[in-house]
Amino acid sequence: MENKLVIIAPDSFKGTLSASQVCEAIEKGIKSADNNIKTVKIPVADGGEGTVSALCGDNIVRMTVSGPFGECVDSFYGISPNGTAVIEMAAAAGLPLAEGKLNPMTASTFGVGELILHAVKSGIHKIAVGLGGSCTNDAGCGIASALGVRFTDSDGVEFVPVGGTLSRVEHIDTTAAEKLLSGVQIDIMCDIDNPLYGEHGAAYVFAPQKGADDRAVKILDAGLVHISEIIKRELGFDVSEMSGGGAAGGCGAGLAAFLKGRVRSGIEVVLDASGFDGYLRNAELVITGEGHFDSQSINGKVADGIAGRLKNSEIPLVVLAGGDAEVSNAYSKGITAVFSIQHEPVAFSEAKEHSYEYLRRTAENVIRLFFSAKKQN
């Protein structure tokens, strides 16, 4: 039998199955239909928690870095198949690390910068940073400081700014960081469009979840306004209206300004880091999936990102969805078909318990139908 290749690239079914488990279930279904079919499993994430695990598997670098409040914490980053260092903000500046002492006025992203520094000193030239789950509001100044950016106040005193001291910054010197990062590409995985400051910005929208009261929110927002003005004056970079600038307490804006990072959709960075495009040359079918498929799924999320990569090919894209799937506009986005894995009305608790088998069974049926129809043509 001729060799056939199916790419399996699903998101997790949140609260039910990890992306890797979804891959495994779909692969079992494919092999049940035809054991000769070759598969490539690419667990996908959107840049938040779980991105390193999905992209890098067991290829993990473990190290000790500074936590949100300067304490030593065990942290990690991963190295993807194409040699990209994949870093989660939450690994060094995440909400769980600040449990019981949340304070975005004093929390720092310095440890995230230490992870980047280690990767760069290890000879890695591509860095992807996922901006999810941070407990900070320092506009990425901690990260920048760890990489050699110097922040000084009106007296010329160098310091590492945090949320509550952003208003003290008067001068920024990126000379050392530019030398260190010469030839290094930094991608910022961001899937929100909140600006740096204002009513829809980092402080007003996200800081209350990180422990800020009303007074602190106003101080944090003022600090973000101030650092934006200093960035424009010192670096000639206007982040005031930058889409996604408010992600991770202003890290979207900070990493773009201080480190010349590129703000990109999380799924685009993940697909690049996984080497997705390289597998397309021999693929006959791509299967993706997520726990809940709706209108948001085709606006910058996993299925939409994959559909974009297939736009100029004739490779079909099938979506397996956890429950009832909303398919309006899905087909116009390049998705070939959407299947719910739930074949009968059952309570969520029961569906959750059997989701692995539901996935396996649906994948088997999709493969039987697809290759049978192809054989007849």
| 2: confidence class by pLDDT, cuts 50, 70, 90 | low
Burial class (CB in 10 A: 0-12, 13-18, 19+), 123: exposed
Instruction: Tell me which residue of 85, 10, 46 sits closest to 247, measured CA to CA.
Output: 46
What percent of the chain has a predicted confidence (pLDDT) above 70? 94
Say which residues have a Cβ less than 8 Å from residue 237's Cβ, sequence separation at least 6.
231, 256, 257
Inform me whether the pLDDT recorded for 175 exceeds 90.
yes
First-to-last CA distance in the chain?
16
- Burial pattern 314-337, b for ≥16 Cβ within 10 A else e, equals eebbbbbbbbebebeebeeebbbe
In this structure, which amino acid lies at residue 244? G
Domains and CATH numbers, the chain: 4-42+280-376 (3.40.50.10350), 51-266 (3.90.1510.10)
| Sign for the pseudo-dihedral over CA of 31, 33, 36, 38 | negative
| Least-confidence region, from 107-111, 260-264, 323-327 | 323-327
**Tell me, what's the pLDDT at 1?**
39
The neighbour count for residue 260, using CB atoms within 10 Å, is 16
CA distance 280 to 282: 5
Instruction: Tell me which residue of 337, 341, 340 sits closest to 356, measured CA to CA.
Output: 341
Say which residues have a Cβ less than 8 Å from residue 158's Cβ, sequence separation at least 6.
150, 151, 152
| 116: confidence class by pLDDT, cuts 50, 70, 90 | very high
Average pLDDT, the chain: 91
| 348: confidence class by pLDDT, cuts 50, 70, 90 | low
**Tell me, what's the pLDDT at 35?**
94
Instruction: Tell me which residue of 354, 371, 367 sits closest to 28, measured CA to CA.
Output: 367
| 132: confidence class by pLDDT, cuts 50, 70, 90 | confident
User: Which pLDDT tens digit goes with each residue over 232-284?
Assistant: 999 999 999 999 999 999 999 999 999 999 998 888 888 888 889 999 989 99
Taking the model in full, what pTM does it have? Answer: 0.82
